[in-house]
Structure 1
């Protein structure tokens, strides 16, 4: 009996030991898992920060480095961060087709993944960034405005969300700057700074970019003393830091504009040549375009024709190449967005009975990574479709003009009952006229590639509507409207900036976006009643009186 009790006691003791060891082993496994996940996350933060730093040192090296990490990292959030860095590197090279293509790449397995809040926000930011790179500023601005209305985002203490918020405010500042709303741009740069903590290189680089942009907007507001102090401090700091060719080259191009306005062209050229020496052998094509253009302008002011033609050719060749890439990028992203939207609508129908509609729309769009914003609300789907319709119709013969159906509750819904008349609702007409006023306040009409289809895309307006509004309210067709804006712009520059009085008419024609000297002269005379040379002589006389 005692033997049986003893054996029973030993068995119970043995079982307790086994159970305790099992618990200890389980605790060790849990601890190891948490530690390893934390270590992997920490390692990725270091790697991605280094990739972002390389983005401003050498675009090609950045692409190779980030792609190496991407191949071995299957984490969905890590992939979207790396794809954005690679996409930005291609954009800085002026290769917008590859830039759009890189971010659009998604694994099929993403379909089964539940999207984190960070991935939703970051994907929307990436789409806004793509639109900004391609010159579609209104689309970019609309996405960012929607994101920055999210209090959850603005109040988050998560470091990934805070740096994304800082980027959103910076991007919005650039959109305001394009439209010459410098006060709003400066406010958004201040807000961007509030979300930066300088704990890594990415934070530090964005903060430095904000300072460079801030100095530029101060110069545009004629705050020359504040501007000069800030930009010189920036250049001194960058010269004392580890290699920062892109930021330093951008800063030198910035300060050259100050000396150009002061008509100190030799000093401006010195600053530009320093900036060019930093990036000439690097693939920062967009920055090199700015440097080449500024150098040609300064040499022209010094009447150094040889240097002017040398740098103007470099500028024109590289600009033509990137403009072509921009057009291809726009066509590609529009096609991609339309295809994704169709897939998303079908996906929505199939899953509407099983889960919440907004979540599934986001999930469907994230598969490609482009349409997080556009299907947040159902009533925006039609507007998005109309926004891009004209891209598909550019190569087709225009359809018969249509009129508004009297029975339609949608002011933009049209029928084809009377092919001879086109009518637009008063509300839509006022909206388009307001957008035209904003366009006239910018200098985007100086772009040589500006066309009715490009302007329609930027304004998110139907091409036929825009054409009709211009014909009815501007008393000219589109070409006449654009040319008049260009001539008025040049006439004001000749009147207000003595530097332009020394320029050749051929340069003025190029500056204004005309394809030839003769076309510029003809339009100039039709608008002003005199030739460019006669106008310049009259302005010069008035200056000497």
Structure 2
């Protein structure tokens, strides 16, 4: 940890202690968290955690929703799709319960933005439209800001060919931001909006208008947001490049690169070095173009870059020994023929194996499609606690449960299954037993008797069975990412879901989805 970050963390902790002695300044701290989100998402989360704690204590649902929204945004910036969706769901639940329209719009915005990144374009557009509808008549600074942000989010899933739509939403966003009365906040938001439309205009070679917007963005950004400043300088360089002015393009690309180097904006460095390579090529400076091509490849994939260097050295060595290799050409030719034959045999064996696996997967998928999943044999549960040990001991010997109690547990399990409560991430045997007003050993005994499973097997079978049925009956589910299927069925991770799915169904979920289209 650098000295700068240590000082920053110390100040945050010190400030939190000072604020605990007086009424919590929600608006001030939310602005602080929003500022950190543009540079240091982890620092932003520290401030947000203090806001959440204070909002829960002081019953401030609006700030609680806004804090979770910003945590969702920070997760999105860090490419954490699971937590982005999870926090957006918390925002929606809080806002729905407290009739907080702005919070619902914020939730829809994050859902739409994340779905667009996952490639679920229909769901993305649907959620963004819902967000607009929530605040379409809200004539306040917050309403203008939200509509502007949502219109900006539409740009994520529009491609270059849809430039008319991109310009339409860019201009809608600018018009909303211009309606904000708070000048400081208005200018903060206009920076990214001007930069977006400037870049979009550059793509369609409208240089003059593009530069007007980019200059406006550059004038407003100041020194407060280094990432946006880096992006704007890059976009100005891109605009010059599209206008066949490589000298100016190189000038601005280098300014952007110096900021990206200073703050470690790796993704932006990849884009900048790639464009620098092109700009130097247009300037007919092959040495400089080659330099930035190498930097671009290194940043993009260091492993591939190192491999390319190794290949280059091998080729250079071969060139030096060209005369010697000419003498050995006949031997090499024979060796190559043998190697080709071996390779063909290996490839043939691999193809046969792949065909066998595909046929096996197809048969498993067809069987599951027709008959459903098969319950795994009963296994004793791991003894993680004294209570679990008592349960296990009870299940190994006959247990007397009155018919009334047993019927009550079965009715409760039926409702539990019908309401899909097994998809809740934190579902636990103790909680379910408490809800049914029975002890855990009775619950375990009934599940063993009627479901032929322990509690974990029972929950996993319900979850995987639910996903299988959805995949069978709803083609839309087959478009979801595996991590999204894991999320909606209550698993904590992609790997945990995939492990249980393969254990119960017999094949990986991606293979099941692939073959499902063929057998359905």
| TM-score (normalised: structure 1) | 0.48
| TM-score (normalised: structure 2) | 0.50
Greater RCO, CA 8 A, separation 6+: 1
